[in-house]
Amino acid sequence: MPTTLDTTKPIVPVPAPWRLRGDVYVVTFFNKAGNLPEHTYSPLERDSSYADPALTGAHLGGLSQFQIIRYTDSPVGPYDELIVCPGYYNYQVDDPTRPGKRLTKKNVRISRIYVSQKYTCWNGRTNWNIPKHLARFTFTTNPTDNSTTVEVFPHDTTDDTANPSVQSLGSESQPATVPFFRATFHPQRFVPSFPLSLSWISALGMDIGLVQPPLPGNQDASQGELPGTQRWCKIGPNQSTRNASIGWLDMKQTADDGGEGEGAAKKGAVTTTAGQIPGCENFWPGMGRWQLAIKMDDAEIDFGHATYWETPKTMM
């Protein structure tokens, strides 16, 4: 985590709205419909209705993102985060004008997400249906080129696989010792910084709101951080900064000789993603090693009040 946090205190509800600050690394890419590898979902959500297209909608693809965020300030203290958002999904709601009929809509969805402390894990799941799970994060800076390597060690993967059975995970009490994800950000020194805000996209009439299905829970979670939810949820987050910059993100999941990062001590060391899932040597099927990325320094992130609704009666 960015700074020290007392994790001995009990979890308490911290309702929306939330205003946070931190450094955000963003990679945006185009994802084909149905291009969902085995590690798209955490095991708990993978084995539930959350990932069942018949119940919560089909994957449509389109513009997708990975985000790495180092929150320096939030209503629950500092923490780190990895977000996997593989694009749009369709979903159905009751048609208010035609009883018994449904409307089909589409929005982006977060499929898998890791955070470094229990308070944001519990509240993110409860407030907005964000499928957060715990992980240990390491950030290593290389002073020779000012690059930064991040590695993520989840509590719901093992040293052998990124996709263990839910039964084998139990309480998700300890992080894996082999990373699930690694990436290295290389800043471009001679490109000037610029202001950036997601609200500009909304101003163009595009709906960038997240729509999240109900979440399964794990009553055996070691820190009580994995509650389930019953309703659908839509939230329109915003990110903005006065100081955005361009860089390249190295997505190679195999460590080079002399590579930075705790899990990169040995040449050829691989993440559980690359080591177990064919075609994911750069974490995602079809993704090239080098991805253009944006870093938002000291960004302001807003998660406001959500809109909730019940699962359509015609689907129950």
Residue 258 has pLDDT above 60, yes or no: no
The b/e string for 10-43 (b: 16+ C-beta within 10 A; e otherwise) is ebeebeeebebebbbbbbebebeeebbbebbbbb
Element containing residue 202 per DSSP (H, E): helix 199-203
**Fold type of domain 18-315:** Acetoacetate decarboxylase-like (2.40.400)
Does residue 139 contact residue 166 with C-beta atoms inside 8 Å? no
The pLDDT value recorded for residue 265 is 46
Give the tens place of pLDDT for each residue, 159-182.
Answer: 989 999 998 888 999 999 999 999
- What mean pLDDT is predicted for residues 216-242? 97
- Which of residues 257 and 271 earns the better pLDDT score? 271
Distances (CA, A) of 113 to 5, 35, 155, 255: 20, 18, 12, 23
Report whether pLDDT(264) > 50: no
pLDDT digits (tens, 9 = 90+) for 46-98: 999 999 999 999 999 999 999 999 999 999 999 999 999 999 999 999 988 88
Residue 1 reports pLDDT greater than 90: no
Reported as a pLDDT band with limits 50, 70 and 90, residue 155 is very high
Is the Cβ–Cβ distance between 186 and 295 less than 8 Å? no
Domain limits, the chain? 18-315
- pLDDT attached to residue 202: 76
Render pLDDT for 277-307 as a digit per residue (tens, 0 to 9).
889 999 999 999 999 999 999 999 999 999 9
pTM for this prediction: 0.94
